[in-house]
Amino acid sequence: MKPEIEAKFLNVNHENVRKKLTRLGAVCEQPMRLMKRVTIDRPDMTKKGAWVRVRDEGHRITIAYKQLDGLTIDGTQEIEIEVSNFDAAIQLLAAAGLPHGSFQETKREAWQLGEAEIVLDEWPWLKPFIEIEASSEAAVRKVAQQLGFEWADAKFGDVMTAYQAQYSHLTVNDCISCLASVKFGDPLPDLLQKSE
């Protein structure tokens, strides 16, 4: 496995980020598009902070094994491969005893600035955020600074980091992948509604 070296910056204005990226000479490699994914997280995987994801990115389809070892810039480990068919990949995993538990929609736009990839992300029920990924922490920090973000505001980990920041009642045991459907236009689920 290799570590993902990335940082998130939450509650951002994507149009402002696009303008800054353009001024810096970044290239938009994938415009904003709808993506779909399923996640698989059996109890034995959950114990070690791991899950499997099948994702249709619009221009490619991937299967990834991800393991969250800590909420640090390099705390997520990943093995990822490309496949040719989203539905067939899901069927293969289900036949092997790994049925998915959650179907999720997201929107993503990808930019390249030097060695760094900057993605503008949208998830249901979340304010927009970005991720900066590169081969080193120094490279991630440099791009964050160029875009005007304070390093103290950086968040690390999977998307639950963003949900927990926006919905402060969520605990470390809550997970968005526990929801069968995470789709744009769906009503706010009970998980994200603060009980009185």
28-47, pLDDT tens digit by residue? 999 999 999 999 988 888 88
> How many other C-beta atoms can be found within 10 angstroms of the C-beta atom of residue 44?
8
Non-local (6+) Cβ contacts of 70 within 8 A are none
pLDDT tens track for 157-180: 999 999 999 999 999 888 898 899
Under a CB-based contact definition with an 8 Å cutoff, are residues 108 and 30 in contact? yes
Which residues, listed in sequence order, are joined to residue 118 by a DSSP beta bridge? Answer: 111, 132
Domain edges within the chain: 2-192
Handedness of CA 194, 55, 51, 1 (dihedral sign): negative
Quick one: fold of 2-192? Answer: Hypothetical Protein Pfu-838710-001 (2.40.320)
Position 123 confidence tier, pLDDT thresholds 50, 70, 90: very high
